[in-house]
Amino acid sequence: MSAAQAERFIRALAAANPKPETELRFTSPYTLLAAVMLSAQTTDVAVNKATATLFQVADSPAAMMALGEEGVAEHIRRIGLWKAKARNLITLSQQLLDRHGGEVPADRAALEALAGVGRKTANVVLNVAFGEEAMAVDTHIFRLGNRTGLAPGKTPREVEEGLMKRVPPDLLRDSHHWLILHGRYICKARLPECWHCVARTECNYADKVLWPPPR
Ligand code: SF4
């Protein structure tokens, strides 16, 4: 895909959704970090259900420590990998208290040094909480980057670097949302809904699905 085509692709997504937002519910950098960490291999809907009660009783590192691992587990038992996530949430909260005075650091290395926090989670927090032009590549963006020709890569890091180069600077911050939402609801893994895709004319995918399947 040419640079001009990539720009038109992103601008088409932007025009269709001028104010994109994360679907995870949060009230602070800490609750955002916790929600993103909990969302690994789980839907945002399931995480929002769990955090609706969890954040009522614990929306800060100190409150999470007071709740304890067992208490956290009671709220998140319905989401995948809940045992490890409960443990990580407690460890992460302790680390924030010990290293950062209970605040979430606006720094990639410091974020990635926290329990359960990888590059993707750090990128979401840097982008959404701190306004940085970071591109978190999840399974949807990885698929979309390769399928459309927008930013092909063998690893999420390669796709991330490709997108950082291809996306116009003025659209970089919100592109994370546009691409995730597009992959989640339109350019789906099994059946991309090309018949109502706003970026269809710019997409290089050879097997576009131009008509909805019969019901
Ligand atoms: S045309 Fe189809 S494959 Fe291409 S971006 Fe749109 S939904 Fe995805």
Within 13 Å and on the Cβ side, how many CA atoms surround 4?
A: 0
Report pLDDT for 124.
95
Which residue has its alpha carbon closest to ligand 1 atom 8? 187
Cα 146 to ligand 1 centroid, rounded to whole Å? 11
pLDDT of residue 215: 80
Alpha helix positions (H), the chain: 3-16, 29-38, 44-57, 61-76, 82-100, 108-112, 119-128, 139-148, 156-166, 172-185
Considering the four listed CATH numbers 3.40.50.150, 2.130.10.30, 1.10.340.30, 1.10.760.10, the one that applies to the domain covering 29-128 is 1.10.340.30
**Does 187 appear as a known binding residue?**
yes
- Among 5, 8, 141, 194, say which to mutate for ligand 1: greatest number of ligand atoms within 8 Å of CB: 194
| Ligand 1 atom at minimal distance to the Cα of residue 203 | 4
Q: How many CB atoms lie within 10 A of CB 194?
A: 18
- Taking the chain (215 residues) in runs of 10, the rounded mean pLDDT of each run is 93 94 94 96 94 97 97 95 96 98 97 95 96 93 96 97 93 92 95 96 95 88
* Substitution site in 178, 208, 210 for ligand 1 pocket (most atoms within 8 Å of beta carbon): 208
Question: Given this model, what pLDDT does residue 213 score?
Answer: 87
- CA gap 203, 198 in Å, rounded: 10
Q: With contact defined as beta carbons under 8 Å apart, do 44 and 15 qualify?
A: no
For atom 2 of ligand 1, which residue has the closest CA? 194
Residues 6+ apart with CB under 8 A from 4: none
The segment(s) of the chain belonging to CATH 1.10.340.30 are 29-128
CATH number assigned to the domain covering 3-20+135-202: 1.10.1670.10
Kindly state if the Cβ of 205 falls inside 6 Å of ligand 1.
yes
Q: Distances from the Cα of 143 to the Cαs of 45, 91, 158, 184, in angstroms?
A: 21, 32, 12, 10
Determine whether the shortest distance from the Cβ of 1 to ligand 1 is under 6 A. no
- 199 in contact with ligand 1, CB cutoff 6 A: yes
Eight-state DSSP code of residue 104: P
Enter the pTM of the model: 0.92
pLDDT of amino acid 160: 96
Q: Largest Cα–Cα distance of the chain, in whole Å?
A: 58
Region(s) of the chain under CATH 1.10.1670.10: 3-20+135-202
Predicted pLDDT of residue 21: 87
